[in-house]
Amino acid sequence: MCGIVGFTNDIGNAGSVIESMMDRIRHRGPDAEGKYVDDDIALGHRRLSIIDVTTQGDQPIFNEDGSMVIVFNGEIYNYQSIKKVLIEAGHVFTTNTDTEVLIHGYEEYGEKLLDKLRGMFSFVIWDKNKKELFGARDFFGIKPMYYAVMGKTFMFGSEIKSFLEHPAFKKELNTSALENYLTFQYSVGNETFFKNVFKLPPAHYFRLKDGKISIRRYWDVDFAADDAPSLDEWVTKISDTFHDSVKAHKIADVEVGSFLSSGVDSSYVAAVADVDKTFTVGFGNDEKYNEIGWAKGFSEAIGKENTSKVISPEEYWDSLSMIQYHMDEPLADPSAVALYFVCNIASQKLKVVLSGEGADEIFGGYNVYSDPDGTLYDKLPRVLKRGIGSLAEKLPAKRGVNFFVRKGKDVEERFIGNAYMFTPEQRKKLLRITTDAPDPTSVTKPFFNKVKGKDDVTKMQYLDLHLWMAGDILLKADKMSMANSLELRVPFLDKEIMSLAEKIPTKYRVTHDKGTDETKYITKYAMRLAAKKDTPEQTAKTAAKKKLGFPVPIRVWLKEDKYYNIVRDSFVSNDAEQFFNTDVLIKLLDDHRNGKADNSRKIWTVFIFLIWYNVYFNNNGKY
């Protein structure tokens, strides 16, 4: 695991600039650094040594004749089998790294190399003869890749903050990103919060030649249910494929550990991986916010060492500026801070951990997936439900009312992902500025168009795989682990697992529990059965427990004087007045404190943006 940076060279001090950019991401690779600079390109690399930990693995790495050079962030789990074929084809290797397999593979196959890879990656190859830059990002977006065009300069990197060191970089806020962030809670789409800075989308590659960039998709999810296998057969297939993925994800020349909560995903990973160490964090002693007891019991049952930490409110709040610095863009997911701390305690004992990200999106695990056609109300005529929903929208938002609003809309109208903070109408009232941000449905429409004719569960999964997972789940996984110089691997997010999961019928992803009332649904049904099969009998109850998902007591803290006042001061600051109608912000805060509404997540979304803005625009990317 590493960090990469680079730019097309049209400046006289490229060597010192690339070093400054590398220094900005030193946390991604504290073990070694390397650079390549010529009249056309500057490439930089920071290394966290995982495979071939000798200096032979240092980057950049060249092909045989030195005509190509690569910088790479990630892990290729099947590199040894690809290497064998390349050696038979006549390629000569000088290291035992997966990095060198990529550059020789690109020589041999061009962009078709991407079809052969199994892993997480973002890499860039400079072809000196063609004067061409080629870059690619992995299938799911596990590893980040940002790029910017500033005048005649093209720059790229694992983190946006490295761009701040380049003399051509012009820092401007992208206000359109702000408006959509207020709805999604993360930076959605390919634009970022910085004008002219973009994300290379997952499963895409780019070519840059003669100042022109072309971007192409090379892979996509294809849900096509296969009704032939029985449920038991699917369970066996999941078990076999997951065992194989975990085995591949454990390849390393250093020790591998595992994160562990009370949920099925991380319990399944820990049980199958058979690692020696597990890591858990929580808040206080309330089981609503603390999974440590469950995790310790599970670890003891499978004979593993568990390290845990209770995060104090002071630690949580004091870390927010640092967290947003590492995130590059504001992310209002409260669990990001908990993830930072569990990465921190793991990094004190090892360099690599396994984690359960991706299982919900791939196997159908979110509670919202059980919503379609789950009640007698769903049997009513569509026109009647839409009418009731329209009336309900005029009432104050609350749990019962929201049910009728939701049921009155098609999934394409109501679902934008697991978080829906401010509606377009609400964010217009909140914002003092005017932007050209599109409506949320315009953002989601291209993805829903790809799964027309599919059932609602599949539609929601497809959307989450492309937006929520890349924009929230994997963003925080990469940035929080790398902030602690820790490699985080996600065995559920494997191309072979996805190839299997996309064929599982919806009834085996989300199913009706006939043993209870008719509205009771079980998510990740087939995967849960596979996990039960692979989990020791004495821990089956633990492995089946509903995951809390790093629950954070934000709603409680915001009612306490200390934290209420911290947020209030932020909401009446000059920064807040620049972007927001502060009277609306204060009402949200006071209504929450007085128990009139649970506005905690909306408050947090605005508050986190203001913290991020202070770090990057008032303090020039320092915290």
Which are the catalytic amino acids? Answer: 2
Closest-CA residue to 459 (of 470, 474, 446, 475): 446
* Cα gap 268→248, rounded to integer Å: 16
Residues in contact with 381: Cβ distance below 8 Å, sequence separation at least 6, in sequence order: none
* Cα gap 193→327, rounded to integer Å: 12
* Cα gap 28→43, rounded to integer Å: 16
Residue 612 three-state SS: helix
* Cα gap 170→195, rounded to integer Å: 8
Residue 281 three-state SS: strand
Residues in contact with 168: Cβ distance below 8 Å, sequence separation at least 6, in sequence order: 7, 11, 150, 151, 152, 153, 155
What six digits make up the tokens of 53? 């930990």
Helix H segments across 110-250?
Answer: 175-184, 231-249
Closest-CA residue to 334 (of 550, 184, 180): 550
Tell me the one-letter amino acid at 131: K
Identify the bridge partners of residue 156 per DSSP, sorted by sequence position: 6, 147
In sign, the C-alpha dihedral spanning 116, 119, 122, 128 is negative
Residues in contact with 574: Cβ distance below 8 Å, sequence separation at least 6, in sequence order: none
CB distance 493 to 478 below 8 Å: no
